[in-house]
Amino acid sequence: MIRVLVVDDHPVVRGGLVGWLAAQEDLDVVGEAGDGLEALAQVAALSPDVVLMDLRMPRMDGVTAIERLAAAHPAVRVLVLTTYDTDADIVRAVAAGATGYLLKDAPLPQLADAVRAAARGETVLAPPVAARLVSQLRAPTVEAPTARELEVLAGVARGLTNAEIGRELFIGEATVKTHLLRVFAKLGVDDRTRAVMVAVERGLLPGPGAR
């Protein structure tokens, strides 16, 4: 028997999953939880083989719970079941240690098969999720801006001119322009304002309200 814990903050969804999985002869639903914190406690108490984990939940989200489970209970397999299929959600969950990633529109028989596969240690990915991961892996690697280039761009973000940036960093104005051109190329932009916006969006520079 495969011992399963179901984690979802919506009682109706959770109840439906529990009912379907419990009807399978080889699956034993040993417990359920409504958020990540409760999931951690239930795993410690019940020792499931597979945890079916939602991502967006109160108190503690699925990714944080997956990270903690991977550290404290590495033998437990976590299968994400969510409505979210954005690149960021997928990458965060897989990087945290999820064995698989399914979407909630998956047919119930497929879900049961995925639980069995996860228990065997196999990676289970919904087709759209697999396609996103493959496209990310095939995407060309973009060179990151250097520390000096980001210093120059930080000066731009503060409203300094090239000459002022050069004086502050003890470099020539022509060198400032060279650094900016390289940053533009790496960020895929063609002007100073857009360069700052993209750098902030990617977390390379602090936002306007950051300290």
Q: Please give the residue that has the higher pLDDT: either 97 or 154.
A: 154
- Pair (159, 181) in one structural domain: yes
Decide which of 90, 110, 138 is a domain's last residue. 138
**Domain stops at, among 84, 112, 138:** 138
CATH of the domain at 157: 1.10.10.10
Assess if residue 208 is contained within a domain: no
Closest listed residue to residue 57, CA positions, set 39, 78, 69, 79: 39
> How far apart (Å, rounded) are the C-alpha atoms in residues 172 and 182?
16
pLDDT band per the 50, 70, 90 thresholds, residue 209: low
pTM: 0.65
Q: Can you give the pLDDT at residue 46?
A: 96
Do residue 93 and residue 163 come from a single domain? no
Q: Are residues 122 and 165 in the same domain?
A: no
Structure confidence at residue 139 (pLDDT): 59
Q: Does one domain contain both 101 and 179?
A: no
- Asked if residue 207 belongs to a domain, the reply is no
Residue 188 lies in a domain: yes
Task: Please report the pLDDT score of residue 211 as a whole number.
Answer: 46
pLDDT more than 90, % of the chain? 58
State whether 123 and 67 are in the same domain: yes
Res 195: pLDDT: 92
Task: Give me the mean pLDDT over the 116-135 stretch.
Answer: 83
Least reliable range by pLDDT among 72-81, 105-114, 123-132: 123-132
Overall average pLDDT of the 135-147 stretch: 72
Q: Do 159 and 63 share a structural domain?
A: no
- Examine the fold and report which residue of 116, 138, 160 is the final residue of a domain before the chain moves on: 138
CATH code of residue 127 = 3.40.50.2300
d(CA 124, CA 11): 25
pLDDT tens, position by position, 27-78: 999 999 999 999 999 999 999 999 999 999 999 999 999 999 999 999 999 9
Fill in the DSSP letter of residue 145: P
Instruction: Establish if 63 belongs to a structural domain.
Output: yes
The total number of structural domains in the chain stands at 2
User: For 61-111, where are the E strands, in sequence order?
Assistant: 77-82, 100-103
* Within a domain: 210: no
| Confidence class for position 137, pLDDT limits 50, 70, 90 | low
Do 169 and 123 share a structural domain? no
Residue 31 is part of which domain span?
A: 2-138
Q: What is the mean pLDDT of the chain?
A: 89
- The answer to whether the beta carbons of residues 124 and 93 sit under 8 Å apart is no
Are residue 108 and residue 186 in the same domain, yes or no? no
Note whether 133 and 151 are same-domain residues.
no
